[in-house]
């Protein structure tokens, strides 16, 4: 049963805390704006309009706040820098979520503000406290013009940003969202008409900001809200400059499962395991940036991403590099045939083989690529826990490629921090479609000297046919390697039982057999890291928290993409 | 590159426009004003614009009696019922019709543009109608509604 709305919003301490602060702040600002207008003796003229002007001013102050906040969660580079210090204070990975919360508030208060102004202006016209008509204020003064334009931009931006539209046509969302530029211009200039004044006529002056602050008594909120705008603009410029630094696509490997591996050399690009980047291929699209998880470890001499040809952009990229769907299909079949032969002789290799695309053999050289990043991801925390439980579901397994490689490198260097054991879980519907990941797991597994350090658990949730069942039953018995994944680890079928898994880990730690010597320790920290669908995240988090005891502490972190 | 499905987008704009117009119509009952009264009208102090004689028919259905306002609310509510959709409309031929939506949207835009409060809603309605026209031209069809609805399949 899904938890109720009330439970989610009010009975979860963090959420409750956010809700109280967030809505409290909005209502406080509204109340303060209302009060400061209603009690301002210099604005007595405007105050004859009574509640409509008070609410428009209150909502105006709220909107100024939201207008400043809307860009803050999008300052990706700044967030990346401050997140290690401030991760305890706010969930830095939830920046898009927060961006949406600001947007919802903006829509609501824009409704209040606009409604109130429609009343204000008709009352101005009727009472003629200013010798103007309502339509003059609406359509000839800066406040009215920018307001109507911003409302229209809101309709266009919100409607294309909806999950459904974004999923089916990212470009529509991406390009439309750049109307934000005009929106912000509108926001900063909204008050230049000097509607809030104590004189009959607006007091315009020839110098910046072109109205006299002696008589124009607005909030002057642009002085504050413009800073996130400037920072964001600066960040976009910086990203552009950084993206132009020398970048070379050095190798392009095609894995039999259809995934393309791009190995990119960019000396100025520094990152940690588990982070992601934006990639752009001008030959495919000049303006589009697509996010991908980095699959190489920071120790690798290149940056790699694995791209499956599932969307239109990725397919176009495949065509461009000469690894279109037909090529990949042919290769997959060739590989499968080879694999069928290999199976009889039970060699461990066969599926992990990849083919390097040779640029010399094709008529076009490898395309120019540009990368922007890195961003996000709490993977460095892995080394702060004694036991790391890494859970990847489906395509969410990708960041763990980098993390596992990184752990492997650090293991070789003997620099594992407090990390003693790694439990890796991979839940997927059909393992063979992630052939490239299996080959990576093979490498990592084969390199293990301590059999207890890394445990790989693979869960296959797909419904298996009777033929496959027999196949597994016959091939599995007595073989050194799992018939499906070719790992020493056995594949498990069905969904993992998290309660039992965390319970077992806790018991094993408490009895002292899991981590030799850990008895002397007071608290053992078990960090669970998850990447995948949020429904599963919730279930895992609950079970991890339920398994906490006084001397075994579970923490949970998840990654978004 | 990605396939932009016009009717999915137009639906959101249409929802925004219709909700805007219901709200605008509600306020227009209390603050009655014919948007185009400025044409040929004179400004009186106090009292605001006094519309010209030619605007008399509009004044009688907007200012003297809020008939247009109530009509705007009703038409927008009908649009909302088609768009959301209301349970009894889901799966019917009305629900699958782009033409009906275009007609409703243009009609509510026509009514909305008469009101002082309704011009933005009218503009958004026309944008939504444009979206549905594109959907019609591209030959998009409304898929059968999913049983149970929601995003449960993403789990």
Got the DSSP string for A73-127?
GG-HHHHHHHHHHHTTTS-GGGHHHHHHHHHHHHHHHHHHHHHHHHHHHHHHHHH
Cα-based distances in Å from A360 to A261, A321, A326: 18, 12, 20
In the prediction, which pLDDT does B21 show? 97
A111, A117, A122: best mutation site toward chain B, by most B Cβ within 10 Å? A122
Beta B48-50 vs B42-44: how paired, if at all?
antiparallel
What does the pLDDT look like over B41-59, one tens digit per residue? 888 888 888 888 888 999 9
DSSP A217-275: -S--THHHHHHHHHHHHHHHHHHHHHHHS--EEEEEEE-TTSEEEEEEE-TT----TT-
Q: Give the integer Cα–Cα distance in Å for A397 and A424.
A: 10
Minimum-distance CB partner of B13 among A115, A155, A172: A155
Instruction: Judge whether residue B71 has pLDDT over 50.
Output: yes
B154 and chain A: CB distance < 8 Å anywhere? yes
What does the pLDDT look like over A217-237, one tens digit per residue? 888 888 999 999 999 999 999
A191 Cβ contact list (under 8 Å, min separation 6): A142, A143, A216, A218, A219, A220, A221, A222
A111 and chain B: CB distance < 8 Å anywhere? yes
B6 and chain A: CB distance < 8 Å anywhere? no
What are the tokens at A6?
């009330």
In the prediction, which pLDDT does B155 show? 40
Minimum-distance CB partner of A115 among B4, B27, B154: B27
Contact B2 A164 (CB under 8 A): no
Beta carbons of B131 and B9 less than 8 angstroms apart: yes
A513 Cβ contact list (under 8 Å, min separation 6): none
Residue B58 belongs to some domain of the structure: yes
DSSP A521: -
Task: Locate the chain B residue with the closest alpha carbon to A107.
Answer: B16
Contact B2 A171 (CB under 8 A): yes
Beta carbons of B49 and B40 less than 8 angstroms apart: no
Count CB pairs under 8 A between chains A and B: 97
Domains assigned to chain A: 5-241 (no CATH), 248-375 (2.40.30), 378-558 (3.40.50.80)
What are the tokens at A292?
């991908």
Residue B8 belongs to some domain of the structure: no
A157 and chain B: CB distance < 8 Å anywhere? no
Angle between helix B67-83 and B6-30 (nearest 10): 150
A160 and chain B: CB distance < 8 Å anywhere? yes
Residue B147 belongs to some domain of the structure: no
A159, A171, A310: best mutation site toward chain B, by most B Cβ within 10 Å? A159
If 0-12 CB within 10 Å is exposed, 13-18 middle and 19+ buried, where does residue A40 land? Answer: middle
Q: Give the integer Cα–Cα distance in Å for A471 and A484.
A: 10
Extract the residue ranges of chain A whose pLDDT is less than 70. 1-3, 87-88, 91-93, 256-258, 324-364, 377-380, 430-436, 449, 451, 464, 476-490, 513-522, 559-561
Contact A165 B23 (CB under 8 A): no
A393: alpha, beta or left, given left = phi > 0 and alpha = psi -120 to 50?
beta
Rounded to a whole number of angstroms, the distance from the CA of A477 to the nearest CA of chain B is 34
A135, A157, A281: best mutation site toward chain B, by most B Cβ within 10 Å? A135
Q: How many CB atoms lie within 10 A of CB B96?
A: 13
A123, A155, A177, A283: best mutation site toward chain B, by most B Cβ within 10 Å? A155
Beta carbons of A453 and A416 less than 8 angstroms apart: no
Residue B145 belongs to some domain of the structure: no
The closest alpha carbon to B25, from B80, B68, B65, B88, belongs to B68
The closest alpha carbon to A269, from A249, A295, A243, A250, belongs to A243
Q: Give the integer Cα–Cα distance in Å for B76 and A328.
A: 52
Beta bridge partners of A372: A278
Q: Give the integer Cα–Cα distance in Å for A417 and A420.
A: 8
Domain carrying residue B93: 17-138
Q: What angle (nearest 5°) sits at the alpha carbon of residue A166, between those of residues A253 and B18?
A: 170
Residue B9 belongs to some domain of the structure: no
Contact A134 B48 (CB under 8 A): yes
In the prediction, which pLDDT does A335 show? 56
Beta carbons of B121 and B112 less than 8 angstroms apart: yes
Residue B154 belongs to some domain of the structure: no
In the prediction, which pLDDT does A331 show? 65
Task: Locate the chain A residue with the closest alpha carbon to B33.
Answer: A122
What are the tokens at A553?
């502490």
Residues of B whose CB is below 8 A from A116: none
- The count of domains in chain B is 1
A162 and chain B: CB distance < 8 Å anywhere? yes
Beta carbons of A406 and A275 less than 8 angstroms apart: no
Contact B9 A316 (CB under 8 A): no
Stretch 469-498 of chain A: residues touching chain B, C-beta under 8 Å: none
Residue B40 belongs to some domain of the structure: yes
B42 and chain A: CB distance < 8 Å anywhere? no
ipTM: 0.92
Chain centroid, CA A83 distance in Å = 14
Taking the alpha carbons at both ends of chain A, their separation in whole angstroms is 26
Residue B42 belongs to some domain of the structure: yes
Q: What angle (nearest 5°) sits at the alpha carbon of residue A227, between those of residues A85 and A195?
A: 140
């Amino acid at each position: 049963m899904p938890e109720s709305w009330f439970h989610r919003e009010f009975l979860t301490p963090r959420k409750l805390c956010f809700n109280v602060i967030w809505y409290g702040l909005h209502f406080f600002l509204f109340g303060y704006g209302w009060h400061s207008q209603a009690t301002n003796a210099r604005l007595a003229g405007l105050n004859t309009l009574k509640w409509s002007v008070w609410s428009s001013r209150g909502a105006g102050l709220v909107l100024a706040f939201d207008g400043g906040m809307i860009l803050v969660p999008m300052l990706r580079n700044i967030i990346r820098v401050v997140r290690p210090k401030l991760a305890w204070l706010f969930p830095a990975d939830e920046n898009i979520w927060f961006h949406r919360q600001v947007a919802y508030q903006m829509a609501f208060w824009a409704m209040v503000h606009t409604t109130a102004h429609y009343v204000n202006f008709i009352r101005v016209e009727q009472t003629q406290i200013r010798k103007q008509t309502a339509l003059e204020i609406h359509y000839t003064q800066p406040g009215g013009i920018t307001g109507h334009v911003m409302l229209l931009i809101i309709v266009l931006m919100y409607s294309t940003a909806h999950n459904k539209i974004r999923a089916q046509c990212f470009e529509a969302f991406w390009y439309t969202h750049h109307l934000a530029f005009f929106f912000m211009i509108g926001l900063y200039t909204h008050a230049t008409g000097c509607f809030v004044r104590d004189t009959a006529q607006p007091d315009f002056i020839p110098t910046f900001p072109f109205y006299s602050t002696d008589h124009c008594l607005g909030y002057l909120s642009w002085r504050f809200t413009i800073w996130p705008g400037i920072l964001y603009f600066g960040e976009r410029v910086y990203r552009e400059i950084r993206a132009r630094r020398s970048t070379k696509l050095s190798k392009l490997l095609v894995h039999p499962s259809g995934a393309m591996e791009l190995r990119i050399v960019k000396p100025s690009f520094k990152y940690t395991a588990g982070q992601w980047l934006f990639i752009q291929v001008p030959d495919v699209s000049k303006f589009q940036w697509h996010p991908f998880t980095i699959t190489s470890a920071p120790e690798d001499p290149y940056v790699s991403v694995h791209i499956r040809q599932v969307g239109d952009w990725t397919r176009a990229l495949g065509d461009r590099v000469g690894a279109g769907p037909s090529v990949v299909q042919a290769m997959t079949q060739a590989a499968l045939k080879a694999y069928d032969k290999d199976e009889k002789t039970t060699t461990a290799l066969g599926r992990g083989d990849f083919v390097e695309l040779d640029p010399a053999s094709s008529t076009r050289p490898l395309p120019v690529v540009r990368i922007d990043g890195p961003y996000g991801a709490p993977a460095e925390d892995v080394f702060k826990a004694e036991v790391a439980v890494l859970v990847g579901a489906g395509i969410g397994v990708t960041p763990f490629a980098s993390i596992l490689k990184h752990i492997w490198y650090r293991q070789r260097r003997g620099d594992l921090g407090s990390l003693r054991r790694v439990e890796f879980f991979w839940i997927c519907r059909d393992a063979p479609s992630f052939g490239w990941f299996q080959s990576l797991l093979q490498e990592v597994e084969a390199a293990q000297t301590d059999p207890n350090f890394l445990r790989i658990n693979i869960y296959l949730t797909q419904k298996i046919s009777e033929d496959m069942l027999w196949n597994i039953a016959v091939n599995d018995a007595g073989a050194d390697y799992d018939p499906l994944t070719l790992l020493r680890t056995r594949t498990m079928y069905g969904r993992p039982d998290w309660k039992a898994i965390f319970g077992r880990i806790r018991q094993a730690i408490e009895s002292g057999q899991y981590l030799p010597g850990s008895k002397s320790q007071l608290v053992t920290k078990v960090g669970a890291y998850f990447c995948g669908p949020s429904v599963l995240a919730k279930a895992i988090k609950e079970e991890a928290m339920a398994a906490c005891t006084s001397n075994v502490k579970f923490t949970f972190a998840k990654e978004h993409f | 590159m990605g396939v932009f499905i016009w009717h999915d987008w137009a639906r959101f704009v249409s929802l925004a426009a219709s909700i805007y117009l219901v709200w605008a119509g509600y306020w227009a009952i209390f603050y009655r004003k014919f948007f185009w009264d400025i044409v040929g009208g004179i400004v009186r102090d106090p009292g605001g614009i006094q519309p010209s004689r030619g605007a008399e028919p509009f004044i009688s259905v907007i200012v003297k009696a809020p008939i247009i306002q109530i009509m705007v609310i009703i038409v927008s509510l009908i649009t909302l019922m088609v768009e959301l959709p209301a349970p009894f409309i889901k799966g019917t031929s009305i629900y699958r019709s782009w033409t009906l939506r275009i007609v409703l949207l243009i009609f509510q835009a026509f009514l909305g543009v008469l009101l002082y409060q309704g011009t933005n809603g009218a503009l958004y309605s026309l944008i939504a109608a444009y979206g549905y026209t594109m959907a019609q031209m591209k030959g998009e069809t409304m898929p059968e509604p999913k049983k149970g609805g929601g995003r449960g399949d993403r789990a």
